């Protein structure tokens, strides 16, 4: 899996015989991703987003009011509106313990949550996927991870500086090509997972059922959220990456360790690969 930044660097704008569009197709890069230059965040905001990410990983029930207060206690003069805008940029989803009154847009694709009380008995029965903000010293990237719930095995992952639906679909396609189709794919109701491109791809798999978390529910996608917490505390927070290449290598190293060596108490202290392969 070549990092997106490395693939972008392979594109030669001067080649007349191969258009940029054709080169993007050959390298599996969305054209808008190639031309995208990234949000320019001021240095003070990069430090704020790093702390916001740690605060959220520590307690995902913090809303904008508590986040702004927590930042102020750390010496950052950040109001609630500023906290809200940064949290939206980071795709932070506050978990609410009580029912919410937010009205969901009926025009977008929404599917029921299929995992409630469902016995998960074998690998490739249920995959869950989600996106998490990853801070770096001079920027940030988004990490998409796809987990087999039965074995906790990470069947696919990717980094990007955008959260386009095409990025999600391409990563999912690679996972399906490598491991086969699951019976159910579960996600949240984010714009990438309710997009025409994502839903059309899942429907093209025919036998795959689409499941989506309830809005603001704390436990619907708990396993993938726990993975993000683990990779951040055990690897990414210990040495903040300087750039995307270093971050890619950190993620690759940790996910390989997580899949093949890390013992899980819920798996009888086996590694995920043992349960994924044995039950496949």
How much is the pLDDT for 73?
86
Is the pLDDT reported for residue 99 higher than 70?
no
| Strand-by-strand arrangement of the 139-148 sheet | 153-160, 139-148, 126-136, 184-187, 209-212
Q: What is the pLDDT of residues 11-49, one digit of tens each?
A: 766 655 666 666 676 677 665 455 444 444 556 688 888
How much is the pLDDT for 248?
94
Q: What is the pLDDT of residues 162-192, one digit of tens each?
A: 888 999 999 999 999 999 999 999 998 888 9
Is the pLDDT reported for residue 102 higher than 50?
no
How far is the C-alpha of 39 from the C-alpha of 30, rounded, in Å? 17
> What mean pLDDT value characterizes the chain?
81
What would the two tokens of residue 138 be? 């001079």
3-class DSSP string for 249-278:
HHHHHHHHHHHHCCCEHHHCCECHHHHHHH
How much is the pLDDT for 118?
93
The contacts of residue 164 (CB under 8 Å, 6+ apart) are 30, 32, 33, 192
Q: What is the pTM of this model?
A: 0.72
What would the two tokens of residue 205 be? 């798999």
């Amino acid at each position: 899996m070549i990092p997106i930044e490395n693939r972008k660097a392979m594109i030669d704008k001067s080649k007349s015989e191969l258009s940029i569009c054709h080169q993007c197709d050959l390298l599996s890069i969305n054209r808008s991703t190639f031309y995208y230059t990234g949000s320019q965040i001021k240095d003070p905001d990069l430090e704020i987003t790093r702390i916001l990410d740690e605060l959220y990983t520590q307690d995902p029930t913090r809303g904008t009011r508590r986040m702004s207060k927590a930042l102020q206690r750390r010496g950052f003069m950040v109001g609630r509106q500023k906290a809200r805008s940064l949290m939206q940029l980071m795709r932070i989803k506050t978990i609410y313990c009580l029912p919410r009154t937010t009205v969901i847009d009926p025009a977008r694709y929404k599917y029921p949550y299929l995992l409630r009380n469902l016995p998960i008995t074998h690998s490739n029965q249920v995959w869950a996927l989600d996106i998490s903000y990853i801070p770096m010293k001079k920027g940030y990237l988004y990490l998409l991870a796809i987990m087999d719930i039965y074995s906790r095995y990470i069947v696919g992952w990717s980094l990007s500086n955008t959260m386009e639906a095409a990025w999600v679909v391409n990563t999912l396609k690679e996972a399906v090509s490598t491991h086969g189709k699951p019976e159910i794919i579960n996600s949240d109701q984010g714009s990438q997972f309710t997009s025409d491109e994502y839903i059309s791809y899942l429907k093209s798999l025919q036998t795959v059922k689409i499941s989506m978390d309830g809005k603001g529910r704390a436990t619907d996608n708990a396993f993938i959220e726990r993975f993000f917490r683990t990779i951040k505390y055990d690897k990414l927070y210990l040495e903040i990456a300087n750039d995307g290449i270093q971050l890619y290598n950190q993620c690759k190293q940790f996910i390989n360790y997580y899949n093949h060596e890390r013992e899980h108490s819920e798996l009888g202290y086996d590694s995920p690969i043992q349960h994924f392969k044995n039950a496949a």
